[in-house]
Structure 1
């Protein structure tokens, strides 16, 4: 439709924005102001903390229980800081840049990554199922729930479980999955419930770990931990690239599969996500969730609004996510190093979830034993909370977007799929818990996340290069995405070789 400005006829305002293949064009509307989205008069520091920060906390809650609580302490406990710590730092930096690029697409279109990938040749019939399979194969095993079940068993009984009691551990793990169901079911808005839960969990966990580490860990070990994070050095003798790859993959989240946790920027209302809708909880009112995203015209007002949204995104990811991930990795690893030094023992894959609590309990009494068990259970539960919900959310988002028939059956209410599917998934994960030890399950998941780094950065390059001009990445952003492919891809190749051949391709 043509517009008239000062008596002159201007070009018609577009109503569609074609992007990629096999999916309908994006709708077109103006970017909202952040104040409109968050219902505040102005966005200051208080408002950023109170309303804007959130999606990064969900991602941080996931990350702390994988690399930070299991794989990092396991590697440092056996091999020390130097030669291991720099892998943590490089991984966290690369992953945060990658998260920005995933979220850039969400913020510019309101489409979550699993849906956006369907716009990449050869189309959604390949990319949507492939992405779901890659994601599910990495995270369906439930290693975090199993680890939390170990800690919960010890909390209840006051001792570690015996080999013939493993089934009780698994039942407790399944019970924790049911708690996740209740948290989401009782919510008015699922993402907000997860944010608030992680505000409490992550805040309490980091506070307790800071107090414990300051109280008992010598400053020499603190210095070794910090030095290890910033000192490039050859990996320790005897460590394999697969072990380092597990650490790299689950430092700061899940390397190439980080996109699975970026859906929450849509539900939070970042950018065009505000125009698309969100998944409401069972207690909330039915909300419209558009199956196709929306984007914006390149106008002065929209360029200004985009810059504002992009600054808020960087605050959420670099300050909260990156900063929290580095602190969350440092504290458990220096605590583990201290425990190994004072006890003369090293953790095994079987006892990593409870090793620190057991050893510190022997040194400082039952109070410390129970405190660290509680920390371990909450850490691993926060991770399983985010992962389990993401398994359900990504499948729901994908099915809702690509299937008009399903939308008709659901009467455009994705909750009618989301909650029944969550119950089905509890049964599936309950069966997967029987496959291996928690740390083994998590290491498999981490290396499968590295597999995702071989292709998804290229998918993002395709999508983001076709966004409206103000939202497109700068050239050096593409360089960072290629570095993600090279760094995490190296570790996946080693993992795949060791899995097939039975011995490490690279051993340092």
Structure 2
């Protein structure tokens, strides 16, 4: 062991109890940014690409305990509970049995690796993943902003939560006469929920903190209610079928709706535009180099703003910093796995088991299955518990979706246009939040706008699944070509991203071909799950998919080889899942 390695103690790597507790309320350390050294353009530091912006050099902060940094993944879990885990997957399992459970299980694990790779860029550079994509080309973050609005801009989750709440309260058929306007009670409830969400952001200067704390409460209640519902309705025997479902890898029952299936894959977790928020949530919390970036404060009730620098921070590859990186990377993965993966597998499996027992073979959508098929079978107490569970899950998701869309979009707009125009990031955030809430209220107020909320959610989910293909590809390019050896993904991680891009790419091709053939009447683009038997256009789509995947594999391999053995003692940064 070298002298440098012997001289580094645990106290140099890990934060004290007092220092670590600061992270519970998120942490920010101001810097004299303009006086800091700019990272040299060598292999030991992130590659800025064609962008003129250079990274500033500081030591990586010491590593706190897991209990000090819980939060970002709880918001992500909240974004997941009311989507695939409440409406999509229980319906799929009820319709086709546990033979499809493999796709949920693999989808959750795949999103674990995708989400932590999204975090990687921010941990290492303090920049959002959108800024990382912008360093490749400015059209990428703009494209995801547009796709994000298409997939999340319709308040389907608020509509579904309000619909469930109204049915549970027995007021679903009530119409309120508001003078010139007559409004269904469930629509008014949805509007009230949107307003309440907006009001919570006005409670504290640090808007992230109130979102995190409320989401932790809502998520905890949702998971507990799902478990209690599962036990109370006696669906334990269904769990014996879960191992068989996990082992049925690749099985897709004939007649499966590919849009619903792709939506389920995307929402085996948060999905789509929502996943990219993981970067911004860990930045707000202060993970890794993000501790030097400012947090977004409420411009109405907040105090002095904290700057978010366009060009982030990086650390010199000393032994101390390399060991700190290993600690931060281990911490980020544990926080995401124990909160997001375990929470999803527990809560969603409980709900799937209940749906499989009480709604086997249903042809209804998610909302109708629970309210019209399951609820009448489980008695007054079971029905009340069911409605409470569904309402909490859907409300939690709607809250997280608003937070995610606004935070992502504010970052994109600010970096592409606002910063150069002298706009304030907090004001962009607050303005987008207000406009997005008002947009949702307008949509909920139009009687003809939402008659079938679940069908809108299918479109939203399918679009989210398609969106995940390009950004898993870009993640791999950014993290293997732009990050130095000691913060790059290891080979195991690279393979997981090959898998993720192939996974979402394959099902995206199936959906695109399905839309061309069945919706647009272009039979030549029909795509068969076995590939063989597709139309001519379908073969072309699969050929394009294979070409993209081969290019991604070649690019990432080249990036790994180029950076190999360019940083002394880089092995000090490695963990089990580097």
- The normalised TM-score by structure 1 is 0.86
Deviations 1:220-242 (A, max 9, x none): 21212353234325222321333
Deviations 1:133-169 (A, max 9, x none): 122222112221111010122234355679x998543
Separation (CA, whole Å) in 1 of partners of 2:528 and 2:301: 52
Separation (CA, whole Å) in 2 of partners of 1:432 and 1:506: 37
1:397 aligned residue:
411
Structure 2 residue corresponding to 1:380, chosen from 379, 394, 408:
394
Structure 1 residue corresponding to 2:355, chosen from 323, 336, 349:
336
The answer on whether the counterparts of 2:355 and 2:374 sit within 8 Å (CA) in structure 1 is no
Q: Aligned runs of 1:56-135 on 2, under 5 Å?
A: 56-82=73-99, 84-120=100-136, 123-124=137-138, 126-135=139-148
- Is 1:20 aligned to 2:49, yes or no? yes
Separation (CA, whole Å) in 2 of partners of 1:478 and 1:370: 46
- Is 1:483 aligned to 2:499, yes or no? yes
- Is 1:493 aligned to 2:509, yes or no? yes
Separation (CA, whole Å) in 2 of partners of 1:288 and 1:364: 54
Deviations 1:236-264 (A, max 9, x none): 23213333211111101215862134310
1:422 aligned residue:
433
- Is 1:446 aligned to 2:461, yes or no? yes
Structure 2 residue corresponding to 1:169, chosen from 167, 173, 186:
186
Separation (CA, whole Å) in 1 of partners of 2:380 and 2:257: 36
Q: Which moved more, 1:430-439 or 1:312-321?
A: 430-439
Tell me the CA shift for residue 204 of structure 1.
Answer: 1.2
Deviations 1:153-198 (A, max 9, x none): 2234355679x99854333223222222112221332222222112
Structure 2 residue corresponding to 1:150, chosen from 163, 175, 181:
163
Deviations 1:34-59 (A, max 9, x none): 34xxxxxxx3xxxx23x211111000
- The normalised TM-score by structure 2 is 0.76
Deviations 1:42-96 (A, max 9, x none): x3xxxx23x21111100010011111001001111221111x1001011111111
2:332 aligned residue:
313
Q: Aligned runs of 1:249-328 on 2, under 5 Å?
A: 249-254=266-271, 258-281=275-298, 282-285=300-303, 286-328=305-347
The answer on whether the counterparts of 1:67 and 1:252 sit within 8 Å (CA) in structure 2 is yes
Separation (CA, whole Å) in 2 of partners of 1:275 and 1:235: 47
The answer on whether the counterparts of 2:271 and 2:468 sit within 8 Å (CA) in structure 1 is no
Report the RMSD for the aligned CA atoms in angstroms: 2.6
Deviations 1:299-330 (A, max 9, x none): 11110110110111011112211111111220
Separation (CA, whole Å) in 1 of partners of 2:502 and 2:202: 41
Q: Which moved more, 1:90-99 or 1:189-198?
A: 189-198
Separation (CA, whole Å) in 2 of partners of 1:230 and 1:160: 44
2:564 aligned residue:
none
1:40 aligned residue:
none
Q: Which moved more, 1:315-324 or 1:430-439?
A: 430-439
Separation (CA, whole Å) in 1 of partners of 2:270 and 2:125: 23
Separation (CA, whole Å) in 1 of partners of 2:52 and 2:453: 39
Q: Aligned runs of 1:363-374 on 2, under 5 Å?
A: 363-374=377-388
Q: How many residues align?
A: 471
Structure 2 residue corresponding to 1:189, chosen from 168, 189, 206:
206
C-alpha distance 272-200 of structure 1, shift in aligned 2 (>3 A): same
Separation (CA, whole Å) in 2 of partners of 1:206 and 1:358: 23
Larger RCO, structure (CA 8 Å, separation 6 or more)? 1
Separation (CA, whole Å) in 2 of partners of 1:408 and 1:202: 38
Deviations 1:90-141 (A, max 9, x none): 1111111111111000111111112221001xx22x1221121122222112
C-alpha distance 53-405 of structure 1, shift in aligned 2 (>3 A): closer
1:199 aligned residue:
216
Moved segments of 4+, more than 6 Å: none
Structure 1: gaps of 5 or more residues: 1-12, 36-42
Separation (CA, whole Å) in 1 of partners of 2:209 and 2:114: 23
C-alpha distance 200-368 of structure 1, shift in aligned 2 (>3 A): same
Q: Which moved more, 1:87-96 or 1:399-408?
A: 399-408
The answer on whether the counterparts of 1:291 and 1:402 sit within 8 Å (CA) in structure 2 is no
Separation (CA, whole Å) in 1 of partners of 2:97 and 2:174: 28
Say which SS state the counterpart of residue 469 (structure 2) adopts: coil
Structure 2: gaps of 5 or more residues: 1-35, 41-46, 520-525, 531-578
Separation (CA, whole Å) in 2 of partners of 1:483 and 1:151: 37
Separation (CA, whole Å) in 2 of partners of 1:355 and 1:427: 30
The answer on whether the counterparts of 1:241 and 1:507 sit within 8 Å (CA) in structure 2 is no
